[in-house]
Chains A and B, each alone.
Chain A
Amino acid sequence: MAVITPRQRTGWGTANLVVIALALLPVFWLVSLSFKTPAAILDPSLWPAQWTWGNYSGILRSSQFLRPLVNSIGIGIISTIIAVLFASMAAYAVARLAFPGKRVLVGLALLIAMFPQIALVTPMFTIERSLGLFNTWFGLIIPYVAFGLPLGIYTLSAFFREIPWELEKAAKMDGATPFQAFIRVIAPLAAPGMVTTAILVFLICWSDFLLAISFTSTISSRTAPAAMEYFSGGSVFTVPTGPIAAAAVVITIPIIIFVLFFQRRIVAGLTSGAVKG
């Protein structure tokens, strides 16, 4: 590819445009629907003839959406913090320490990453009901932490391996215990990796639907993706298309922000393993 002909330039440029258009079309359709007036909702054109904020002000005034949105944010943040904390500890051990059972841990994490969540739903539903966790924040946080951990352990141990070993040795020579070496030396250096991991884990929690509809029954703990199912229209005969589209756009906004600001990190985190694999 040393010499680029104008034709190649046009070719790749067109390919780029096709990729962008295909990636954005369904998102744009949601945005368009969310700004359409109830009268125009059945108009299949991609560009609303008349723009209205009505759908947004409607859902943002309704506890049917606001409360689940708060739940989504709260459950997502708490799960992410716990998962990143536990994953950092485990990843440090995997990357830096010699101990028996390392392979079992890696295997367990791999198994859980591939785990069919539906296989958990029936037994977890029963367990959560008997423990009083059903329809609570923690009823979702616990499984979210568990499913965030494998990703966290793999991503973070990849990042931890890149950290210069010598610094930790130096800290130990200066009399630090391995634990102090971890907290004082490695953890600050690992911060970028931890941010990446936190984003990826948060996205897992934010997008989950199966567990959210299975382990909640009211808006007190239902998350936003699960709540959209329960939106009601103006009457029993109207489908709440506009409000659902607006809610879908609202829950997409954080993702767009993450993608815009952390594009490099997300790509690095997702592919940190595959590159070397």
Chain B
Amino acid sequence: MSTTTPAVTTETAGGGPAKRAKKPPLSEGAKAERRLGLLLITPAVIVMLAVTAYPVIYAIFLSLERYNLELPQDVKIIGFANYAAVLSSSYWWTALEVTVIITVISVSITLVLGMLLAQVLHRTLFARGLVRTVSLIPYGIVTVAAAYSWQYAWTPGQGYLAALFNNNAPLTSQAQAIAVIIIAEIWKTTPFMGLLLLAGLSLVPEDLQKAARVDGATAWQRFTKITLPLMKPAILVALLFRTLDSFRIFDNIFILTNGNNGTASVSTLGYDNLFNALNLGIGSTISILIFICVAIIATIFILGFGTAAPGSDNLDRR
């Protein structure tokens, strides 16, 4: 479920009905409220910082060291040599390329399919509950369980999908294996995208659609001129989280190909460096580089959000 955390983070941009009480300048009550507020957030903040901020800072130190678990006596600060090693390695660039390809293709297709699914869920007149329930299964299923299903389905001589495709072994060729991984990702994440978009879709006023229809707009015109612009915030939020989520793809690749035949993602590469090469220095360097990539992606999206960015000034409005 690590793949689904972000859904709700868009929340702060919302306007709840509740209004915050006007605060008198630091009366006793306001002071007590401040104290209580800080007290209540303390445990959450401590855990979140302990698990992220501290390890990241530690990883920065580790990335500047030569530190191989097999050679514990040979730990030495070597500056940016690890970065030079990783950035001049074809493994890193291949993994980055594979990750970007998987992310771009799977997120684009998921967006289109998610939009179709949202339309189906929105317009469906009967069995709506059933369709929603069933489409939640791919979202909820353990990625590893689904990945095994795909793996066996594509195993020649064993799987129903392999049988359909003349029993060649797609998981052993780079391009085909990446295609299989992308299919697995799309299957898993389309329902989530669909539900987020459905929420945005339900905000599009029906009257506007009707008025446009009366004015003679075609279904496609109504979709592109009314639905899409009104859904832009929902789409951007869904895209941001799907993109970041897809960029850290690990489970599907680990089970389907274990990163063989040039299908390693940046995450599986980082994992291999730690647990197979036992190289803490290089592993940490990869961690930091992934962190930087994610920061870049997030920045690009948040610039795209403009004022609608989650966590921006909307928070103080209510």
Residues of A within 8 A of B (CB): 1, 4, 9, 12-13, 15-16, 19-20, 22-24, 26-27, 29-30, 33, 41-46, 86-87, 89-90, 92-103, 105-127, 142-143, 145-151, 153-155, 157-158, 161-163, 165, 178-179, 200, 203-211, 214, 225, 228, 241, 244-245, 248-249, 251-252, 255-256, 258-260, 263, 266-267, 269-277
Indicate the size class of the contact surface on chain B. Answer: 35 or more
Residue of A nearest to B67 (CB): A126
Nearest chain B CB to A49 CB, angstrom units: 14
Q: Are B134 and A44 in contact (CB under 8 A)?
A: no
Inter-chain contacts of B294 with A (CB < 8 A)? 114-116, 119
Nearest chain B CB to A273 CB, angstrom units: 3
Q: Are A93 and B40 in contact (CB under 8 A)?
A: yes
* A209→B43 CA distance, assembly (Å): 26
Inter-chain contacts of B40 with A (CB < 8 A)? 89-90, 92-93, 97
* A99→B40 CA distance, assembly (Å): 11
B79 in the interface, Cβ–Cβ < 8 Å? no
Interface residues of B in 1-19 (CB under 8 A from A): 1-19
* A259→B280 CA distance, assembly (Å): 40
Give the A-B contact count at a CB cut-off of 8 A: 400
Q: Are A208 and B1 in contact (CB under 8 A)?
A: yes
Nearest chain A CB to B143 CB, angstrom units: 6
Inter-chain contacts of A158 with B (CB < 8 A)? 8, 11, 14, 16
Nearest chain B CB to A206 CB, angstrom units: 6
Q: Are A123 and B10 in contact (CB under 8 A)?
A: no
Inter-chain contacts of B238 with A (CB < 8 A)? 274
Known: A29-B152, A203-B140. A146 touches B233 (CB 8 A): no
Q: Are A93 and B41 in contact (CB under 8 A)?
A: yes
Interface residues of B in 107-155 (CB under 8 A from A): 117, 120, 123-127, 129-138, 140-146, 148-150, 152-153
Sample of 18 A–B contacts (CB below 8 Å): A42-B157, A44-B159, A93-B37, A93-B38, A99-B34, A99-B37, A101-B41, A106-B311, A115-B294, A119-B59, A123-B62, A123-B284, A154-B12, A161-B318, A178-B36, A209-B2, A248-B149, A276-B15
Chain B 301-318 against A: per-residue CB contact (8 Å), 1 yes, 0 no? Answer: 000000010110001001
Interface residues of B in 240-290 (CB under 8 A from A): 240-241, 244, 247-248, 250-251, 254, 266-267, 270-271, 273-275, 280, 283-284, 286-288, 290
Q: Are A90 and B62 in contact (CB under 8 A)?
A: no
Inter-chain contacts of A200 with B (CB < 8 A)? 1, 4, 7
Residues of B within 8 A of A (CB): 1-21, 23, 30, 32-34, 36-38, 40-41, 43-45, 47-52, 54-56, 58-59, 62, 117, 120, 123-127, 129-138, 140-146, 148-150, 152-153, 157-160, 162-163, 187, 191-192, 195-196, 198-200, 202-203, 233-234, 237-238, 240-241, 244, 247-248, 250-251, 254, 266-267, 270-271, 273-275, 280, 283-284, 286-288, 290-291, 294, 298, 308, 310-311, 315, 318
Known: A12-B120, A26-B146, A276-B15. A114 touches B37 (CB 8 A): no
Residue of B nearest to A244 (CB): B148
Known: A123-B58, A269-B8. A255 touches B142 (CB 8 A): yes
Q: Are A123 and B55 in contact (CB under 8 A)?
A: yes
Q: Are A19 and B7 in contact (CB under 8 A)?
A: no
Q: Are A274 and B144 in contact (CB under 8 A)?
A: no
* A271→B280 CA distance, assembly (Å): 39
* A267→B38 CA distance, assembly (Å): 31
| Shortest Cβ-Cβ A-B pairs, 4 listed | A276-B14, A99-B37, A273-B11, A161-B16
Most buried by A among B38, B49, B129, B137: B137
Known: A29-B152, A116-B267, A146-B50. A126 touches B2 (CB 8 A): no
Residue of B nearest to A20 (CB): B134
* Choice from A26, A92, A255, A271 contacting B198 with Cβ under 8 Å: A271
Residue of A nearest to B188 (CB): A26
* A67→B132 CA distance, assembly (Å): 33
* A147→B55 CA distance, assembly (Å): 14
Known: A24-B137, A116-B248. A29 touches B149 (CB 8 A): yes
Inter-chain contacts of B5 with A (CB < 8 A)? 113, 147-148, 150-151, 204
Q: Are B45 and A275 in contact (CB under 8 A)?
A: no
Inter-chain contacts of B41 with A (CB < 8 A)? 89-90, 93-94, 99, 101, 105
Q: Are B18 and A95 in contact (CB under 8 A)?
A: yes
Inter-chain contacts of B38 with A (CB < 8 A)? 93, 99-101
Nearest chain B CB to A203 CB, angstrom units: 4
Residue of A nearest to B162 (CB): A44
* Choice from B123, B134, B203 contacting A12 with Cβ under 8 Å: B123
* Choice from A161, A252, A273, A276 contacting B7 with Cβ under 8 Å: A273
Inter-chain contacts of B153 with A (CB < 8 A)? 26, 29
* A127→B304 CA distance, assembly (Å): 37
Nearest chain B CB to A232 CB, angstrom units: 15
Nearest chain B CB to A275 CB, angstrom units: 4
Residue of B nearest to A87 (CB): B44
Residue of A nearest to B145 (CB): A248
Nearest chain A CB to B40 CB, angstrom units: 4
Q: Are A44 and B16 in contact (CB under 8 A)?
A: no
* Choice from A19, A33, A97, A143 contacting B120 with Cβ under 8 Å: A19
Q: Are A86 and B196 in contact (CB under 8 A)?
A: no
